[in-house]
Amino acid sequence: MSLGLFQREVTVAVLASGSAGNSTYIGDRHAGVLIDCGLSTRQLLLRMEALGLGDAPLDGVLITHEHSDHIGAARVLSNKIFKKAGRRIPFYMTRGTLAGAPPQCIPDGVEPILAGETFRVKHLEVDPFTVPHDVEDPVAYRVRVGDTAAAVITDLGRPTALVARKMRQCDVLVLEYNHDTELLMEGPYPWHLKQRIRSNHGHLSNDQADQLLTNGLGKRLRHLVLAHLSEKNNDREKARSHAVQTLRKLGADHVTVEVARQDQPLAPLQVTASRW
């Protein structure tokens, strides 16, 4: 039997990333999940269609936490899929996220999860792990298909050893590069918001993201997507320069670097999985 029968192409598509809405699709032709659904259902489906993912399998939605830019479309999306396909897909979230979610966003078919306990969505292995953010029980997710893994890690206030450890086994990494500290402190935000963003439960600066990348770089990494950039407190080229220079210092020039956008999706990344 040829090796090709044991291989699948895994797609990672960042549909939107930023303070106005976040969503990333991960899947192959047999199973797929969204990580977060913080933009409108209409925009989410239009962007999937534009990327050629209109008919891609969608077997669950993984919610990281209850802020509206991550969970906002959950109820409408659930109802839309039910109307179209006649079935409810599960929305996975911690009990803390469910308790804190806006009532108008809570979908039917919530499946409670625990940080640190892996579960499966069909053959996709999902690993939720704790991140430091200013909500009750936030998580990030690493999704594995065979020997290939992709993670979406945003909305954390500081690098942690746990997060770095989870990153080391990833082929594709969507990582927060939220703000440039100087731009944030000189920018228009009120002081209390600047303090929240800079706190240990806020968002990663470019420097902190570089530190996390340094501690968490694994030999498997092939694609890095910079995510959740602030439109007012960061600069796309500055963030990209940070990441590229860090990778160069680490001898990882082979890693591609993309910067996610709020207003349009990125072209899908394709990686090959085997031993599934």
Burial 89-100 (b: 16+ CB within 10 A, else e): bbbbbbebbbeb
Place of tokens 């997060």: 163
pLDDT of 3 over the 50 cut: no
Phi-psi domain of 7 (left: phi exceeds 0; alpha: psi -120 through 50; beta: other)? beta
Q: Answer whether 168's CB lies under 8 Å from 216's CB.
A: yes
pLDDT at residue number 1 = 34
Write out pLDDT tens, residues 135-155.
999 999 999 999 999 999 999
The answer, yes or no, to whether residue 82 has pLDDT greater than 50, is: yes
List domains and CATH numbers for the chain.
Answer: 9-268 (3.60.15.10)
Phi, psi of 171 (to 5 degrees): -90, -35
Residue 32 has what pLDDT?
Answer: 98
For residue 8, the model assigns a pLDDT of 85
Contact between residue 23 and residue 268 where contact means Cβ atoms under 8 Å apart: no
pLDDT category of residue 276 using cuts at 50, 70 and 90: low
- 259: tokens are 């910067």
Work out the mean pLDDT of the chain and round it to a whole number: 95
Nearest to 173 by CA among 156, 202, 157, 149: 149
Specify the pTM.
0.96
- Is residue 48 very low, low, confident or very high in pLDDT (cuts 50, 70, 90)? very high
Token pair 């109802």: residue: 79
pLDDT in tens, 206-232: 999 999 999 999 999 999 999 999 999
Report the C-alpha gap between 246 and 244 in whole angstroms.
5
Q: Please answer whether residues 151 and 140 qualify as being in contact, where contact means their C-beta atoms are separated by less than 8 angstroms.
A: yes
What are the tens digits of pLDDT across the range 258-271?
Answer: 999 999 999 999 99
- CA–CA dist 25, 19 (Å, integer): 18
**What average pLDDT does the segment 122-140 reach?**
97
Q: What is the mean pLDDT of residues 189-200?
A: 97
The pLDDT of residue 170 = 98
Segments in 117-157 forming alpha helices (H):
none
pLDDT of residue 25: 98
